[in-house]
Amino acid sequence: MRSLLFALLCSSLMATADPADAQQSAPPPQASPGEEVPAATLAVEIDPTTVTIGDRFQARLELRSSAPLGGQPRFPAWEEHWGDAEILAVDPPRDEGGGLWSQRLTLAVFEIGLATLPAVEVEVPTAATTTAAVSAPVVVRVDSVLPATDEEIPPQPPEPLHELPAGRRFWIAAAALGLACLVLGFVALRRVRHIHSALEAMALSPIEAFDRALARLRSESLAAQAYTGLSLELRRYLGRRLTFPAAEGTTTQIQRSLRERKLPAELLRETLDLLREADQVKFARGAADPGRVRRRLDEAESLALAVENWLEPAPEQDEAAA
């Protein structure tokens, strides 16, 4: 009788138990016989494990899988840093065979102390699914390049100045540099004077600038140089007074421009005679007589006055013409 009552009590307690408690306490499902459970491990090897600041070292990732892989494992997409280390180079993953894959990285740390390489994850595709293998964090010791010492190095006084010997090459270089400075200064001075003269000439009227140039040419000792200067100054005067590029033109081009501006025939003939005679001396190396040059300078001065009178007739001539 007592046995029957005890059996009834046990059955009632089992019927009122929480279904959730029964599920939590249930044992985990076991793999059926003959079925392989996929397993993959990821390890990180450092060589060497202790480095000095800025030195390169190698990190090797080793992935081992006990199940056949369904494709190439997907290693991390490395960027510039792995934790506290800077990535200098990354080799592609390699299949070592037998379910072993590896990848090598070249790293460097630029801070003294313990550098941490965080855990990384590699996706492992198998025939049935894709799993992930995660490595453990790795710590690398980074030492200073200076030797460890407990003694404080006292500050040292500055060394006295040492007088360097000045050899022959030094004095040659100094002399060459000084000569170059003198030449550059002379060229710069001449250029400044030339610019100053050009500005002064532009401030004068065409006839005033021409008269000043003729006065300078009269003191020229070389007749050939005087002819060259006369040709240039006459062209400048005509170009400024009659507004055409005479200084850059040939004698034929100047003749054409003067005809277009209706220059009187007598003035045109005298102008061309002066220019062609100067061309003979400049280009054909014709004879240059100092006395003839002085006469040509006087003729050029009279020619310029005639051009001025033609462009701006005097009032008396206007009344006589009326």
Instruction: Tell whether 50 is covered by a domain.
Output: yes
What's the total number of domains in the chain?
Answer: 3
243: left (phi over 0), alpha (psi -120 to 50) or beta: left
Predicted confidence band at 147 (pLDDT cuts at 50, 70, 90)? low
Tell which phi-psi region holds residue 33, choosing left (phi > 0), alpha (psi between -120 and 50) or beta.
beta
For residue 43, which phi and psi values (nearest 5 degrees)?
A: -120, 155
Q: What is the DSSP letter of 165?
A: P
- 88-97, 265-274, 276-285: least confidently modelled range: 276-285
Rounded distance between C-alpha atoms, residue 5 and residue 322, angstroms: 163
Chain centroid to Cα 82, Å, comes to 32
pTM of the model: 0.39
Confidence of residue 12 (pLDDT cuts 50, 70, 90): very low
Q: Give the range of the structural domain holding residue 209, as residue numbers without chain letter.
A: 205-321
Total number of residues shown for the chain: 322
Q: Which pair of tokens denotes residue 285?
A: 């190396």
Residue of 283 and 77 predicted with greater confidence: 77
Within this chain, do residues 288 and 214 fall inside the same structural domain, yes or no? Answer: yes
For the ranges 37-41, 159-163, 177-181, which has the lowest average pLDDT? Answer: 37-41
- Return the pLDDT at 201: 55
Q: Which helix (H) or strand (E) holds 322?
A: none
Q: Is 6 inside any structural domain?
A: no
Residue 159 within any structural domain of the chain: no
Per-residue pLDDT of 260-270, as tens digits, reads 999 999 999 99
Q: 234: part of which helix (H) or strand (E)?
A: helix 223-242
Kindly state whether residues 136 and 190 are assigned to the same domain. Answer: no
- Whether residue 213 contacts residue 226, with contact meaning beta carbons closer than 8 Å, is answered with no
Whether residue 103 contacts residue 75, with contact meaning beta carbons closer than 8 Å, is answered with yes
Is 15 a domain residue? Answer: no
pLDDT reported for residue 21:
37
Distance of alpha carbon 135 from alpha carbon 139, whole angstroms: 13
Same domain? 199 vs 211: no
Helix H or strand E segment including 95: strand 94-97
Using 50, 70 and 90 to split pLDDT, how confident is the model at 49? confident
